[in-house]
Chain A
């Protein structure tokens, strides 16, 4: 009975929140959790085939949505927290959205992204069959402290799920060290072709061997600490991936080929400036392979995948405006590398909030390489900063070396968008962190002149 009350109330709250335009909200799930604390375990027990969790710092939402598309393509039903609400309450909301009023769900699979710091809480209730690890970058320092502490937490939660199969990024040394320290069945995915992702080598978190403390030797860097590495002191090195990605460049396009161990081979075209999202696609293809799908189903699933809100989302308000979520140094650096490729005259707006879901500590702004923008400073007519930490952002740009006369500090989100639209330029980019995303997107959507906005995946 408690369960039914919890579900009915949550359904009403979720519907109300949607009406009021609060996307990606946790509130329905939070209420249900309070009324019925074991509701997640109960939902999980109804999943017929497999539960897949996707965790890590960047790339969770895109990877998870691609996995969902592949599973749907294979003709199965699947519960998914598509918008990226990834705390336990967000997972519950996803199940409630797929359930009837008595809480029954009809799902073959559940594919759920989970906040890396909430993994322990979630795994106390859900028994995952596959856990996908994307990467671990520094993020939200006040909530997560540091990478080492996160690794310890993840390791402890894995002890409760000995049967889970782990799918780990082989190019990510801190995650591989985690893999080395647990007895689970593991599969690795990695990029074999040593392509240039235009990295500036800033914000490398884990350049030291987690096992012996020696500096890792890199034969190749992709971005952040991702690359082909080896420890010269102990035996720690990059494992040979079970799912290998190869890239081939043609004149205006790039082709991604993923080869699995048993003849599984997926080929996919890639936009050349989407390098950062190769890992997301590779991880999703690997899950597709692990679930026993044919290459054809995986390829068609990926074609049907549509990115979520604020992932390189495009609008047109007097000029093309691109909105991209970026939450931490690596995410911002990768976003700015895309802006750097655009030589049109443009406004660059940066929004930074410091609410709990963003992380209250914004010192990471100084670990972010905003100097990337300075390289194309002559094409940027105006820098607009907004959000609760707009002055910190303004100072960061001043010390990066931009001319203060090009800087606009906007008091509200509306002012920021007005400034972006009204400043004469051929294009605009809006980069912002999480709690600013939905409100800003709503304003842009309301003023959008082009009904068919297209988008490409994001780093986030």
Chain B
């Protein structure tokens, strides 16, 4: 059998790297490698002429406000390629600031920054940070993470990634967390997100393999350490949550 190979594009790793985001890329790469799947990681930075044609998974992280502004100018120039990829069912995982960037705008304390407008949601800055552990029910499994954001995101009827069991989520009001459109996943969860959420990581890998090779099943890995880490965090939030691991 020939070697399976996926291409992952990390968007603006130099600018958007605030909350251990590279840990998500590392987790995707390792969980592929442990299954014998080769991963080619392309870093797309400002001004790069990247060929996105073969990208199976896009990743964009969060950053300081100033850096987000710089990234925003550049990312508009690749908007058509991203739109095309999304309609081709490619995966786009966006965290925190990168997530906000996908929407229509971010209304900050000083000014309003236009987002990419790939999805019809918007974000407004509030005075207080939402900080702490968060548990989210996606319907299929539970996500465990840490959130740390000032933005309040309103989905305008789009599907959320999941519903908040404990924590704040998109805006602290409607119990939604993140967004899910086709294979675009936006979320405030970091910590980073994927090491403690192997099911989501594997779902992303499965989608990419299905898109590229029409392969349905994914080899199981030994996730006992991941599950223990999930149990430990869940228990620290509420003893009753331990079964969510």
Contact = CB atoms under 8 A, between A and B. Distances in A.
B195 A142 contact: no
B108 interface: no
A299 interface: no
A142 B225 contact: no
A387 to B, nearest CB: 12
A120 B225 CA distance: 43
Contacts of B15: 208
B148 A391 contact: no
B170 interface: no
Given A215-B46, A360-B131, A396-B195, A207 B20 contact: no
Contacts of A367: 17, 20, 22-23
A9 interface: no
B30 A399 contact: yes
Contacts of B192: 363, 366
Interface string B120-144: 0000000001011000000000000
A70 interface: no
A21 to B, nearest CB: 26
Contact of B131 (A138, A142, A149, A391): A142
B17 to A, nearest CB: 7
Interface string B14-29: 1101111111001100
B204 to A, nearest CB: 16
Nearest to B224: A404
B10 interface: no
Contacts of A401: 30
Interface string A364-380: 11110000000000000
Given A146-B18, A363-B190, A399 B23 contact: yes
Interface in A194-214: 207-208, 210, 213
Contacts of A388: 236
B70 A366 contact: no
A148 interface: yes
B146 interface: yes
B18 A360 contact: no
A367 B26 CA distance: 11
Interface in B31-63: 46
A460 B14 CA distance: 25
Contact of A404 (B66, B196, B225): B225
Given A361-B19, A363-B192, A392-B191, A208 B26 contact: no
Interface in A385-441: 388, 390-392, 394-396, 398-399, 401, 404, 409
A147 interface: yes
Given A148-B66, A366-B23, A395 B229 contact: yes
A390 B231 CA distance: 12
A145 interface: yes
B22 A146 contact: no
B143 to A, nearest CB: 15
A208 B67 contact: yes
Contacts of B129: 142, 145
B20 A213 contact: no
What size tier do the contact residues of chain B reach?
A: 35 or more
A450 to B, nearest CB: 36
Contacts of A33: none
A75 B26 CA distance: 55
- Which of A366, A391, A409 counts the most chain B CB atoms within 10 A? A366
Interface in B158-213: 190-192, 195-196
Contacts of B65: 146, 148
Interface residues of A, number: 33
Secondary structure call for the B interface = mixed
A398 B233 CA distance: 17
B46 A142 contact: no
A367 B30 CA distance: 16
- Which of B46, B64, B65, B69 counts the most chain A CB atoms within 10 A? B64
Given A148-B66, A208-B70, A395-B195, A360 B229 contact: no
B226 interface: yes
Interface string B221-239: 0000110110011001000
A94 interface: no
A72 B22 CA distance: 46
B148 A141 contact: yes
Interface in A128-170: 138, 141-142, 145-149
A362 B26 contact: no
B191 A147 contact: no
Given A146-B64, A208-B15, A367-B22, A361 B131 contact: yes
Contacts of B22: 366-367
A408 to B, nearest CB: 12
B233 A391 contact: yes
A364 B23 CA distance: 10
B232 A362 contact: no
Given A138-B18, A363-B190, A399 B64 contact: no
Contacts of A149: 64
B225 A366 contact: no
Contact of B229 (A146, A148, A207, A391): A391
Contact of B70 (A145, A213, A392): A213
Contacts of A360: 131-132, 146
A395 B196 contact: yes
B131 A207 contact: no
A236 to B, nearest CB: 15
Contacts of B190: 363
- Which of B132, B225, B233 counts the most chain A CB atoms within 10 A? B225
Interface string A273-303: 0000000000000000000000000000000
6 contacts: A145-B150, A363-B20, A363-B23, A391-B233, A394-B225, A394-B228
Interface of B: 14-15, 17-23, 26-27, 30, 46, 64-67, 69-70, 129, 131-132, 146, 148, 150, 190-192, 195-196, 225-226, 228-229, 232-233, 236
Given A145-B129, A394-B225, 20 more contacts: A141-B18, A145-B150, A146-B18, A146-B65, A149-B64, A213-B70, A361-B146, A362-B191, A363-B20, A363-B148, A366-B26, A366-B192, A390-B232, A391-B232, A392-B196, A394-B228, A394-B229, A395-B195, A395-B229, A404-B225
Interface of A: 138, 141-142, 145-149, 207-208, 210, 213, 215, 360-367, 388, 390-392, 394-396, 398-399, 401, 404, 409
